[in-house]
Amino acid sequence: MSEPLTEVAVPASASEAEQPAQAQRLRRRSRLETWLFLLPAALFQLVWGWYPLLMAFLISFTDAQPMLPSHFTGLASYLRVWNDPLVGQAFRVTFFYGSMLVALTFIFPLLIAIFLMELPPRLMRWMMILWFLPISVIANSILWRYLYNEQYGLLEYIATEILHLPHQPFLNDPHQVLFWLVFPAVVVAGPGVAGLAYMAALQGIPRSYFEAAEIEGAGFWRKIWTVSLPRLRPVIAVMLVYGIIQGLQDYTWPQILTGGQPEGASRTVMLYLFSYIQNQRYADATALSIYLFLVIFAIVVLFRTFFKEDPDA
């Protein structure tokens, strides 16, 4: 904006003529630098992000033989996967597992975050360290395998010796296995990354909002409902989408605890996909993964249309 002004005000001189050239050189150098900043990450994103994504669609239309050259087979693998009765079961299991996981555990990080913010700073610090103490998923799943043991596990002891119930099958009952898979996440719920995001967002709410609500006579729950939750709305939306996506893709937990047993009642799509890969049915595995992708995509789109961003947040 100031350029024409200076041009008029100051007559051209030798140093003035030099300046644009120097500026141009600087700009060119900085453009080169920008590229150097971007290049490594761009290469990795291209080779390990976009390229496999494109190839996934290509491979799903071929027979992807491990030993013979592949042939284009159109939708054959999609049809094969569609007609596989175990795929239907796997999707049912995945839906049940994912929705139960989200329904039973989603609220905890939110509540913990809101409550933690009420504590005096010192107490809050210590509580946070304990609450956010991480545990390895592998270690935790091995521990729960022990606790669920039908001969000598802690839960069996609680059920038979303390509650005087008959022998409980826990993970061995096809009708209960999904619930018992989710159960540990409910009992020992921690706030996790979602809790951190909520706390950060809560810190960003101006104090005056709560003061205003207080003057209007709002109590404890009323303030949560009318101030905290609406302000957290965007973060909650993101965490919910993430929770659903993660729940539908869970692999480690069911694999270590049950391995899909009994009778495939806990075999999620990811577990079934893995067995496809082990049987070298690569094209079918890719087709199955694209079905899963479409389901997740549909959920995200549905979510976006129904859960509009708050206009005044």
8 part of the interface to other proteins, by CB under 8 A: no
Q: Which stretch binds other proteins (CB under 8 A): 16-24, 80-88, 130-138, 174-182?
A: 130-138
End-to-end CA distance of the chain: 35
Inter-residue contact 112 to 195 (CB < 8 Å): yes
Interaction of residue 255 with other proteins, rule CB under 8 A: yes
Name the nearest CA neighbour of 97 among 290, 257, 235: 257
The residue (of 12 and 129) whose beta carbon lies closer to other proteins is 129
Q: Which of residues 189-208 bind other proteins (CB under 8 A)?
A: 189-190, 193, 196-197, 199-205, 207
For other proteins (CB under 8 A), the number of binding residues is 117
The window from 8-16, 76-84, 169-177, 188-196 that contacts other proteins (CB under 8 A) reads 188-196
Residues 61, 87, 105, 140: which binds other proteins (CB under 8 A)? 140
Contact status, residue 195 vs residue 113, Cβ threshold 8 Å? yes
Q: Give, in degrees to the nearest 5, the angle at Cα 110 between 106 and 114.
A: 165
Q: Where are the alpha helices (DSSP H) in 46-136?
A: 51-60, 76-83, 85-105, 107-116, 121-131
Of 10-18, 72-80, 95-103, 155-163, which part binds other proteins (CB under 8 A)? 155-163
Q: Would you say 71 and 64 are in contact if contact means Cβ atoms under 8 Å apart?
A: no
**Three-state SS letters, 22-51:** HHHHHHHHHHHHHHHHHHHHHHHHHHHHHH
**Does the footprint of other proteins cover residue 38 (CB under 8 A)?**
yes
In angstroms, what is the minimal distance from the CB of 120 to other proteins? Answer: 8
For other proteins, the binding residue among 9, 17, 21, 139 (CB under 8 A) is 139
Q: Does residue 102 touch other proteins according to CB under 8 A?
A: no
Task: Let me know if 112 is exposed, middle or buried by CB neighbors in 10 A (0-12, 13-18, 19+).
Answer: buried
CB nearer to other proteins: pick between 95 and 131: 131
Q: C-beta of 98: minimal distance to other proteins in Å?
A: 12
